[in-house]
Structure 1
Amino acid sequence: MKAGHDVVIVGGGLVGASLAIALDRLGLDVGLVEATPPGSLPAVFDERNLSFADATVNALDALGVMSKLHAPIGAITRIHVSRRGDFGRASLVAADYGREAFGRVVVARDFGQALEARLGELSHLTRYRPARFVGLGEGDAEARIVRISDDDGERDLRTRLLVAADGTRSGVRAALGIEADSHDYLQTLFVARLRAARAPDGTAYERLGDHGPTALLPRGDRHFGLVHGVARDEADAVQGLDDAAFLERVQHAFGWRVGRFLSVGARSVYPAIGTVARQTIAPRAVLVGNAAQTLHPIGAQGFNLGLRDALTLAELIETGGGDPGTPGLLADHARRREEDRGRTLAMSDGLARLTANDAPLLRPLRSLGLFALDRVPSAQSLLVGGAMGYRGEVPALCRKAS
């Protein structure tokens, strides 16, 4: 016998779990298919540092997640952007826009624990874990059949809407026959906790280089969250460096704006590969988060964009007043996400390609761009609005209640 749900979400990571919480408010019967067993967190909830845009903070606060965080949260009150070897830099200050902060820095593991605590409070959620998506069965005009495998073998779930939140290599996306375009930036990113002579003061630094960014995010524990990009063919050698040699390398790439680097924690390694689905909807199915688009981490917009995918879907389901998987509702979702998705993808990809290109003719153009960003209010406002998550048709939960 098939279990029936209004919505089945495949993927219990950042976006999938957040969507389940948003849908529970609507009283929908939701199934969440998760790869990890009870008591464990998905691998994405590691020691990396997540930069939550202001709109994201508003939404997670409304969903009751922010109050579940236990580790100190860092506020981003200033953004400093520069490029090694180029003239010019840009400095953006939240107070100039009447804001306390542009966003917050949260440790992924703490966020995962907060989501887990919130999921445990939901009353309309069925969790299938550990379980994996196997494929699609033969559905009809009213529902999808989702085949999963768990410790008891294979089973079918019947759902009026299937949500793919299963990451960059989405099995659901492949099963739906949706193609995706990928671009390998030939960069590898090292992520770690770093301590410097000067403690964070609310400034997020983005130091651009030929082989990717070196970013420092202000954590709430007097450490910085480090992201250091290296050329792919150098990654193994960099991984083999001891802490002292690694810190020396990062110091050379970043400079001395926060003084000498003193210590670094365990390093995680990720290849920088962008992936964009050619479409985000199919009959009674929708892609959200990394299943829909995986961004280069420059600008730290990946999760923020994916959360807006999920919250827009929840909002449309709430106002739709019935079937969550109708063609009209899904078409509205694709339309509403088009501007935000397109502009955020263009910004992330454009910055990654332009800033990593060491062609001499591009240097004056980059310097001019940074100079304009630092001095032209309209250019600043455009960047700030997007970075804070206010681009396109913003979900209501992202707008702070007055």
Structure 2
Amino acid sequence: MNSILDTFDSLSITLLETLKRFPLASLSAFLASLILILLIEIEYSPTNEIVLLANKVAFVLTLGIFLFPVLYLLNRSIFFKLIGIGVLVAYFYFLPLEIDTLAVLRHMLLILALFFMFFWAPFLNTNISNKNIWEWTMKILIILLVTIILTLTFYGVFYILMFSLRELFEVEVLDKRYWQFIILVLGLFSVNFFLSQMPKYICLLQLKKYTRVGAVFTKYILTPITMLYMFVLFAYIVKILLLGLWNEVTIDWMIIGFTFFAIATYMFWTPLVERLHSNFRNLIWGSLFVLSIILALSIWIRLIDGLTLEMLYLILLFDVWLMLISLYFLFFENASYKWLFFSISLFIGLSQSEYVIDWLLLLMR
């Protein structure tokens, strides 16, 4: 009995500490889940203005779930909380009442930009080693993975329970209950669990070496796969150049895929060595710089052939980012991971700017 009470006390303290650290994020998650559950209950109607407004509010609140924690990591003053509220109000004002597919896509990209802020926001004004940044990054990713697993576990248990009730006792459960339950879990548990696991004092985060599994994975699985990917990709590019197939094939996604493989490989080596060898650094970032030039050439050829810039806009921004970040890591021996993550957030944010879109369209005319 005492152990149960101790567990309950521990959970209560953790919850209260989370609410104290991230009150607006928890509130945003709660309100968003509540609104979405109610919308599902009344069966969402795109013709009802009140329903559309409620959906818009929930949409904006989901952004707040990510916005307020990263602002907390940047600065814990109330001023930054007010900035966050102001950003959400402005976002609500400019967001259309009827949310279409394009608005959803832009919303997801903004959330992605905010998520990458988790990796650099605590270190913006701090000179810190890449080992510390990588340790923090892995910590966040592990917390996210555990949160996803626990969320899926909750849903799996609920699904099995509902299935058992239907099969054994012929209790019919409406399909919308499943959606309501997963939203409830996401809003009440998942968000708060993720936030509660974030280290309170980042400066006290201990550097850890890989386990044997981690070292073997990095050295003998991830690195060889990346090198093989590089060889195949460049061989394919040579084939395209020799046969003049630029107008028939596109290599955008192959280059994008290799970019993430290469950067992940480079970063996974961080805990294994004191300083990455210059040849390895030049190989990874040099190959990415060459690929950025090839990708720019591919985009240019397709623009000449009549493809509109609107269709290549995100790829063009990705190419600009890849070229700049490659040069940064090539020419700065002490290049910091925080600027890598910062640049990702920045370019994703810029990709949603109407001014940037208009400027690029004007530039390419």
Per the normalisation by structure 2, the TM-score is 0.25
TM-score w.r.t. length of structure 1:
0.23
Larger radius of gyration: 2
Identify the structure with the greater helix proportion: 2
